[in-house]
A and B are shown apart, each in its own frame.
Chain A
Amino acid sequence: MSATLKIKDAAVADVGNGMVELSAMVGTERLWYIVPASHAPTELRGDAFAIAGLLPAMRLGIPLEIDSSLPVDPLLLANLERQQHIFALWGPGFRQPLKRVPILARAEAAQSRGKKMSFFSGGVDGTYTLLEAPHVDEAVFVRGVDFQLDNPIYDEAFKRNEAWLAERNIPLISMTSNARWVGKAYGFGWSTYFGGGLSSFAHVLGAGTMYIASGHTWRELWPDGSHPLTDPLWSSSAVNIIHHARDVTRADKIVRIAQQPGALEILRVCWQDKGFNCGECEKCLRTMVLLRLLGLQSPNFPVLSDVSAVAKLVPGDRSEAIFVKEAIALAEEVNDQPLLAALRKSLSKWEWRGILRDTEKAWLGGSVKKLLGRSSPKASADN
């Protein structure tokens, strides 16, 4: 193993169809971003790659060394130092040994290209932020985040999103990246890596401001890949990263979205690569539950008439459990007894599973778990 995690061999190449690929080696992995030529970097810089390389270097416990041909913005470097303090103490929360490491880089200020952008895939959080953020010049839809790189559904979703945004005079930018898989190669699930991953896209595109839509409220403060504490620390003097709308629950976001003509017609939340929305996974069910409770319908989801799938659902982590709790509060409010019972059953399964797991740990010292060789449910979703 080398003594440092090196970022080097950066290159820009024309890949046809008006697209340009920016790439560099991040340790042993080539990280690439394909962006429209109109959004290609005006100079080769190390900002995006430094962000992408920080957590891998911290996990390996070796310095992050950015080739001197790739300058890094001084404010970003200062922010990455602060970022390390937080992530090092969050390591146990991520079940990752994260150590603070030196960053070796040539500092040189980045130049702002000024546009305000927001990530947009047609999901609940991104759509809400697009509607509520002060002003968005361009939306960005990334292939390779919630889709496998070769999933053709992306093209269909892009067309629908682009048409909906066109009515609002907001252009939709397409970009593709393997950042999620680079994180995975270094042992990070996207849920740990995504704040940095998304921010690296912002730096590649030269956004003046980039909004990252919050997935939770201020009440959920546990270590998370995208967080109101850490997202702003991926900013440089040219790129301002804003963690947006931490004060709104998912249900309230859907209410706001539903007021916009056509928004529920493009709603897509599924990460399963099984059609536009599979209608079966936790994210789909979570959305279908809220649509029913709010008396709304989207042509992209089956109507939730049979609640047995909800009752059978066991939240995979505390993040998913929070959504069940929020839905329970709403079901109580609208007095949907069948769905309320199903949601309570789902939450009860989660709670009893936790009690059983911790009972074994507290009284038997985790020996049964070790014997079975199975890991306990993770503290946060890691896909």
Chain B
Amino acid sequence: MVKNTDVNLAKTIRSTKLQATANSPLIVRDWSRTRVKGAPGVSASVDGFQVNFNGSSLGNVPERSDVFLAISLLPAMYHNRPLDLTAMPPVSAGLLASIDKVQEIWSCWNPYLHRVPILAREEPTPSEGGAITFFSGGVDAVHSVLHLKEKAGQLVMINGFDFTMDNTAFAAVHKRLGKLAERLGHELLTIETNWIAMTRNQRIARSTSHGACLAGLAHLMHPAEANIASSFSWAALFPWGSHPLLDHHWSSDSVQISHVGNDSPRVEKIALIAQQPDLLKLLWVCFEDPVANCGKCPKCLRTRAMLSILDADTSAFPPSEGDALDPWLNMMAKGTELVYLNEVKEVAKRKNREDILPRLAKGERAALRRDVLRRLWRNLLPDLAKKQDDKLDLQPWGRGPRPEL
């Protein structure tokens, strides 16, 4: 355990332009090596919540606090409390200076987030070289591996990131992703964590915090390079937990973190994957069911519709009743799928699909109607809108609806 007396606080407070706060510090402490279900790992208490990371590759990780710094920064900023890691092992050199920029960007994106001082020791961490790419088996992840080729390095799947899976579900997912990784020619590593429970406990939406978790895990595994697949293309830039303007600022002197894949809209990512039918059969995108694509959620409907437009195999999804495009287009009046609709429109134009362009235009109008009605009631009943917004977990942009693209 590191003693407080060892810490040169004045030297290690790196954040600038800090807002004065009398709030008590958010303390991270009790770093320890652990073993869960036979897998080695690390654990620490983040403001009283014990967070674990375990996996067979975590046996000899350096004694560093990087991952705990990454996952506790948002809660500290949200509650405007200085972040105190003085009772923890040091963080990697370069990380504190680099995440000043993370604080700068987050506090601009989200008025509920405040820039806070960070108290921690900093020491160089030797890099072991190599690369990792986070891998869920979905469109963005598979595309990133195809795009990066051998530079993708080892693929990392996480239980407790999108879902907390029981042993049976996790074994099924592990088997499927193992096959996928094998076909892609990469080794698959697994991590298990209870991080998602911590972030939910703080009422911070996963879409706000997921980039921080991935960055922290990258430091825990300490390769020279870590890749995070983009969720959106350059055409859709708005505050999001993992972002091309943000992710590289999680880098330290020893671990370079990159956000990859913004050059390709989602439909083009799917088109690249569709060139290898054996990958398509193993594709999993669902947010409702970790084991198999449900065929009903927005992600399933969107992916199946895009595959059908591309005349590709849709057998990874339950068959749709009738046309695969209709169920997705019918959802336009409910969801925020417009960004993907525009991508599909471009493909339809390129492929001269005159038969579906009017249907896409109709879907676009449905989405716009929903948006107009939303803006109308928010303008007419601003107090009610604020009440609704306050009920939401903290979004990347604050509260309430996503900012206009």
Which A residues form the contact surface with B (CB < 8 A)? 85-86, 89-90, 92-93, 217-219, 221-223, 228-229, 246-247, 318, 348, 351-352, 354-355, 358-359, 361-363, 365
User: With A221-B238, A362-B368 given, is the CB distance from A92 to B263 under 8 Å?
Assistant: no
Residue of B nearest to A228 (CB): B245
State which of A218, A352, A361 has its C-beta within 8 Å of the C-beta of B379.
Answer: A352
Minimum CB–CB distance from A109 to chain B (whole Å) comes to: 24
Question: Which chain A residue shows the least CB distance to B346?
Answer: A92
B376 beta carbon closer than 8 Å to chain A: yes
Among residues of A, the one whose C-beta sits closest to the C-beta of B368 is A362
The answer for the CA separation of A352 and B380 in the assembled complex, in Å, is 11
- CA of A352 to CA of B378 in the docked complex: distance in angstroms? 12
**B340 interface residue per 8 A CB criterion:** no
Residues of B in contact with A (beta carbons under 8 Å apart): 17, 104-105, 107-109, 233-235, 237-239, 244-245, 262-263, 265, 342, 361, 365, 368-369, 371-372, 375-376, 379, 397, 403-405
Given known A351-B379, A354-B375, contact A219–B235 (CB-CB < 8 A):
no
**Complex contacts, B234 vs chain A, CB 8 Å:** 85-86, 89-90, 229
**Contact status of A218 and B375, CB under 8 A, knowing A85-B234, A90-B235, A229-B244:** no
With A85-B234, A355-B372 already in contact, the answer to whether A365 and B365 are too (CB < 8 A) is: yes
Chain B: minimal CB distance from A225 (Å): 15
CA distance A324 to B369 in the complex (A): 26
- Verify A222–B342 contact, CB threshold 8 A: no
Q: How far in angstroms is the closest Cβ of chain B from A81?
A: 10
Q: Is the CB of B108 within 8 A of A222?
A: no
Residues in chain A near residue B404, CB distance under 8 A = 222, 318
A sample of 6 more A-B contacts (CB under 8 A), given A92-B342, A247-B107, is A85-B262, A89-B233, A89-B235, A219-B108, A221-B245, A229-B244
Pair B405/A222 contact, Cβ less than 8 Å = yes
Residues of B within 8 A of A222 (CB): 237, 404-405
Q: State the CA gap A222–B237 with chains docked (Å).
A: 6
Pairs across A and B, CB under 8 Å, 12 listed: A218-B108, A219-B108, A219-B239, A222-B405, A229-B237, A229-B244, A247-B104, A247-B105, A351-B379, A355-B376, A362-B372, A365-B361
Docked CA distance A219–B403 (Å)? 9
Smallest distance from the beta carbon of A31 to chain B beta carbons, Å? 27
Partner of A246, one of B108, B237, B244: B108
In the bound complex, residues from chain B placing their C-beta under 8 Å from that of A247 are 17, 104-105, 107-108
When distances are taken between beta carbons in the complex, the residues of chain A under 8 Å from B238 are 221
Task: Point out the residue from A85, A229, A362, A365 that lies within 8 Å of B245, measured CB to CB.
Answer: A229
Given A89-B233, A90-B235, A229-B245: A218 in contact with B104 (beta carbons within 8 A):
yes
Nearest-Cβ distance from residue A365 to partner chain B, whole angstroms: 7
Chain A neighbourhood of B263, CB < 8 A? 85, 89
In the assembled complex, how far is the CB of residue B368 from the closest CB belonging to chain A, in whole angstroms?
4
A83 CB to nearest chain B CB (Å): 10
Give the residues in chain B near A362, CB-CB below 8 Å.
365, 368-369, 371-372
Q: For residue B284, give the distance in angstroms from its CB to the closest CB of chain A.
A: 26
Counting chain A CB atoms within 10 Å of each CB, the highest count among B17, B237, B244 belongs to B237
Measured in the bound complex, the distance between the Cα atoms of B361 and A184 in whole Å is 32
- Give CA–CA (A320, B372) in the complex, Å: 21
Residues of chain B within 8 A of A351, CB atoms compared: 375, 379
Chain A residues within an 8 Å CB radius of B233: 89
The distance in angstroms between the C-alpha atoms of A86 and B104, with both chains bound, is 24
Please name all residues of chain A whose beta carbon is closer than 8 Å to the beta carbon of B405 when the two chains form the complex. 93, 222
Contact between A89 and B265, CB atoms less than 8 A apart = yes
Cα(A219)–Cα(B245), bound, Å: 11
Contacts of A348 in B (CB 8 A): 379
Which residues from chain A contact B235 at a C-beta distance below 8 Å? 89-90, 92-93
Q: Which residues of B contact A93 (CB under 8 A)?
A: 235, 405
Chain B nearest CB, measured from A308 CB (Å): 23
A199 to B265, CA, bound (A): 28
Residue in chain B with minimal CB distance to A249? B108
A328–B346 CA distance with the chains assembled, in angstroms: 39
Partner of A358 from the list B104, B245, B361, B372 (CB cut-off 8 Å) is: B372
Contacts of A361 on B, CB cut-off 8 Å? 365, 368
Which residue of the partner chain B has the closest CB to A218?
B108
